[in-house]
Chains A and B, each alone.
Chain A
């Protein structure tokens, strides 16, 4: 008999991997939202496209994975630039959001057409296949590697945003576009850069995350919904740390919640979201009153 604490610990690892996956996707969504002021509702489809590329290139080697990643980044560059061009003639953010919703729907539909509506299993590179065992519980090696890589991405993102010139320009463009323009920062270039990098984060997460959350009908909607929740929980402003904490909370509630309170599994996440939003609102009021 294994102990309950081991059960929770292994499940927590799952929550960590899922939370970090959502963090990378949500960071892309947040970047596009911050610069373009548009909720990119095709973002979940970008993730799906990444998992699809991983499936196409997967040959059980790390080279296959690297090729898939390169193809994903190329596709994100083309797709991001295309999306920027498509959204440009549209005046309102609502109209732009609706167009992204339609695009996402088309990508998801094409996928289900090609896959015949079935869910595809992406093989893991041989080096990272198999699982580690402790206290009678298993955990896939690939997922551990994914946790490490996603954590590196989070650190790198933080460094770029706060330590590099590009990051400072980006934050300026998000926080105060008119002033940024007066400083000679090209709004168009920043827009295209933001949408491309944002899409690349979703596609890249899809490529690397495919063995964790693979290409299947409906995965685009799941990823979109959860990363929207992460962005909302992460709050306003360019705060990488808040976004990371929000993503980990969502991941943990999804996983550990299923073990601790299985009866609530279907809606426990929404209970947490409502609680956080209400408490934060109250906190703001208290702060203003003081």
Chain B
């Protein structure tokens, strides 16, 4: 090997390397330029925690398929604070946000940032069950209550709920709420179909179990063959881009109705394919996520006439809902969605609980004076639900305001104890209370129908399936 060769080789390689670097840099610069579009929701209030400020960590999907649900939650949280002078239970709230992502690693990183860096006293949020299961134990280890606003993991995945509360729902509840109604009203069999993943198994399983128990007959072949005789027709998840092949089997089954659960992008596709498959004469029933929020907007006229079951509808008639609908119309020019309401109620639960915790001397979680939301809740329940709106919380907040500066800090533990004693909560969905064992809402469910008034579409309540308690 000659020196000339030795010299030439690196030169050639260097040129090629330089070219590679140039091309790579170009790509990276594009990425960076595009990345600048990102923004942060964080409020820029002072970071130093003092007696009268409480830091709340808001953990929401800012990326991935549930991004729009995260936006719904954030706007309701911000609106509640705006309408209540930035305070919950008399304390100024500093909101720090983080992305729950779609995987466990992102959720863990974000939860630890909120807990250990921002020193959040309470965590609020999450749309999906996967991040929730990661956040819960991290929060519990620091005695920080976590108010979940979306999908709730099963007990197997999240056994310890001592510091977990949900203002949303339990996955098996939705289908179970409508099952007896369909068993009674549909003269014939019902075809159950849904996505093959944990959410689908919970949602559809909740339906088929209760439906068969109530004497209903399933039309899908899986309904008879599977062990237990109550399975549903599964579609691959994720990745099903066309539901027509699966829907083509509905006609041959002789079903008199279809029950399903899909959410987000899958919901839009399913509704379109249902029409294209020529099934318009077979009534479609579904868990409310099929026609909720952005999905309904994209589905348009294809969604007209679909029946769904959910724990909220903007047409529920009570004072709290009337005010919420009005506030949303004024502020965002739209009607509220379920995810707006779960976040709104999380703020409301904290408003009541912080007021109660502030009024109760630390360490003695006994009954609070007049401001105690347990007594407030009882009085709300006694009066008609229509008579009391979110203003009821305003009174709670106001009376808890002792002079700033001399207020002792409210601990997460005290807030957690206070939540347990809240009793009935006056919500836009109608009154609900948090179950002392499951820490999830005991709440009403509604049968809704997609209706258009010419200008816009909404999920109008046509019956109450499970009345408010």
A interface residue numbers (CB < 8 A to B): 1-4, 6-7, 10-11, 14, 18, 86, 89-91, 95, 99, 102-103, 106, 109-110, 113, 116-121, 131, 133, 135-140, 143, 213, 216-219, 222, 254-256, 258-259, 262, 265-266
Kindly specify which of B25-33, B315-323, B326-334, B451-459 makes contact with the partner chain: B25-33
* A117→B276 contact, CB < 8 A: no
Which of B19, B27, B65, B265 is within 8 Å of A89, CB to CB?
A: B19
Q: Are B20 and A14 in contact (CB under 8 A)?
A: no
Q: How far is the CA of A103 from the CA of B66 in the complex (A)?
A: 24
A-B contact pairs, 24 of them (CB 8 A): A1-B254, A7-B249, A7-B251, A14-B242, A14-B245, A86-B23, A91-B16, A91-B19, A99-B27, A110-B34, A116-B294, A117-B68, A118-B265, A118-B268, A118-B294, A121-B268, A131-B275, A137-B248, A137-B277, A138-B276, A216-B241, A218-B238, A219-B241, A256-B245
Contact with A along B264-278 (1 / 0, CB 8 A): 110011001001111
B contact patch SS: helix
Residue on B with the closest CB to A140? B276
Q: Does A106 lie within 8 Å of B252, measured CB to CB?
A: no
Query: In angstroms, how far is the closest chain A Cβ from the Cβ of B165?
Result: 27
Whether B34 lies near A103 (C-beta < 8 A) is no
Contact across chains for A120 and B68 when beta carbons are under 8 A apart: no
- Bound CA–CA A121/B278 (angstroms): 18
Closest A residue to B67 by beta carbon equals A117
Q: Nearest B residue to A105 by beta-carbon distance?
A: B31
Sort chain B's interface into a size bin: 35 or more
Number of A-B residue pairs at CB separation under 8 A = 128
Q: Assess the A117–B65 pair: CB atoms within 8 A.
A: yes
Contacts of B275 in A (CB 8 A): 131, 138
Interface string of B179-221 (1 = CB under 8 A from A): 0000000000000000010000000000000000000000000
Min Cβ gap B371→A in Å is: 41
The answer to whether residues A262 and B246 also contact, given A121-B298, A121-B299 and a CB cut-off of 8 A, is: yes
Contact with A106, one of B30, B251, B298 (Cβ below 8 angstroms):
B30
B239 CB contact (under 8 Å) in A10, A113, A137, A222: A222
Q: Which of A3, A91, A120, A131 contacts B298 (CB 8 A)?
A: A120
Contact B298 A102 (CB under 8 A): no
Q: Are A3 and B68 in contact (CB under 8 A)?
A: no
Contact A103 B234, beta carbon cutoff 8 Å: no
Q: How many whole Å from A98's CB to the nearest CB in chain B?
A: 9
User: Across the interface, do B20 and A255 meet the contact criterion of CB distance under 8 Å?
Assistant: no
Q: Does the CB pair A217–B300 fall under 8 Å?
A: no
Q: Closest 3 CB pairs between A and B?
A: A138-B278, A119-B265, A117-B67
Q: Nearest A residue to B221 by beta-carbon distance? A: A262
Residues of B with C-beta under 8 A to A89: 19, 22-23
**Given A138-B279, A265-B236, A266-B236, CB of A11 within 8 Å of CB of B248:** yes
Q: Looking at the assembled complex, report how far the CB atom of A19 sits from the nearest CB atom of chain B, in whole angstroms.
A: 12
* Contacts A120-B298, A255-B245; A106 near B27 (Cβ below 8 A): yes
Shortest CB distance A178–B (Å): 22
A116, B66: Cα distance in complex, Å: 9
Q: Nearest chain-B residue to A256 (Cβ)?
A: B245
Residues of A close to B37: CB separation below 8 A: 113
Asked if B71 lies at the interface with its beta carbon under 8 angstroms from chain A, I say yes
Alpha-carbon gap, A131 to B27, bound state (A): 44
A38 to B344 CA separation, bound complex (whole angstroms): 53
Residues A7 and B30 in contact in the complex (CB < 8 Å), given A14-B242, A99-B23, A117-B67: no
Q: B104 → chain A, closest Cβ, in Å?
A: 19
Which chain B residue lies CB-closest to A114? B37
Let me know if B402 is at the binding interface, CB within 8 A.
no
The answer to whether residues A118 and B298 also contact, given A18-B242, A86-B26, A213-B241 and a CB cut-off of 8 A, is yes
- Docked CA distance A117–B277 (Å): 26
Residue of A nearest to B18 (CB): A89
- B233 contacts the other chain (CB 8 A): yes
Residue of A103, A110, A119 touching B27 (CB-CB under 8 A): A103
Q: Among B19, B26, B27, B252, point to the contact of A3 (Cβ < 8 A).
A: B252
B244 within 8 A of partner (CB): yes
Kindly list chain B residues whose C-beta atoms are within 8 Å of the C-beta of A136.
251, 278
Once the chains are docked, how many angstroms separate the CA of A262 from the CA of B236?
9
A121 and B272 within 8 A (CB): yes
B405 at the interface (CB under 8 A from A): no
- Name the one of B26, B71, B248 contacting A259, with C-beta atoms under 8 angstroms: B248
Q: Are A117 and B63 in contact (CB under 8 A)?
A: yes
A218–B245 Cα gap in the complex (Å)? 20
Instruction: Check A258 against B251 for contact (C-beta < 8 Å).
Output: no
Can you add 10 more A-B contacts, CB < 8 Å, to A138-B276, A254-B245, A256-B245? A18-B242, A95-B23, A99-B27, A131-B278, A135-B251, A138-B277, A138-B278, A139-B278, A143-B276, A259-B248
User: Contacts of B228 on A, CB cut-off 8 Å?
Assistant: none
Distance, CA A256 to CA B234, complexed state (A): 15
B363 CB-CB contact with A under 8 Å: no
CA distance A30 to B428 in the complex (A): 57
A109, closest chain B residue (CB) = B34
Complex contact B244–A14 (CB within 8 A):
yes
Residue of A whose beta carbon sits closest to that of B276: A140
The reply to whether A222 and B245 contact each other, CB–CB distance below 8 Å, is no
Contacts A86-B23, A106-B27, A137-B278; A117 near B245 (Cβ below 8 A): no
Which residues of A sit under 8 angstroms from B31, Cβ to Cβ? Answer: 102, 106
CB proximity of B321 to chain A, nearest CB, Å: 26
Complex Cα spacing A257 to B313, Å: 39
CB distance from A86 to the nearest CB of B (A): 6
Whether a CB of chain A sits under 8 angstroms from the CB of B227 is no
Q: In the complex, what's the smallest C-beta–C-beta distance from A134 to chain B, in angstroms?
A: 9
In the complex, residue of chain B having the shortest beta-carbon distance to the beta carbon of A221: B239
Task: Report the separation of the CA atoms of residues A255 and B246 in the bound assembly, to the nearest whole angstrom.
Answer: 9
Neighbouring B residues of A258 by C-beta, 8 Å: 245-246
Q: Which residues of A contact B248 (CB under 8 A)?
A: 7, 10-11, 137, 259
A262 and B239 contact, CB distance less than 8 A: no
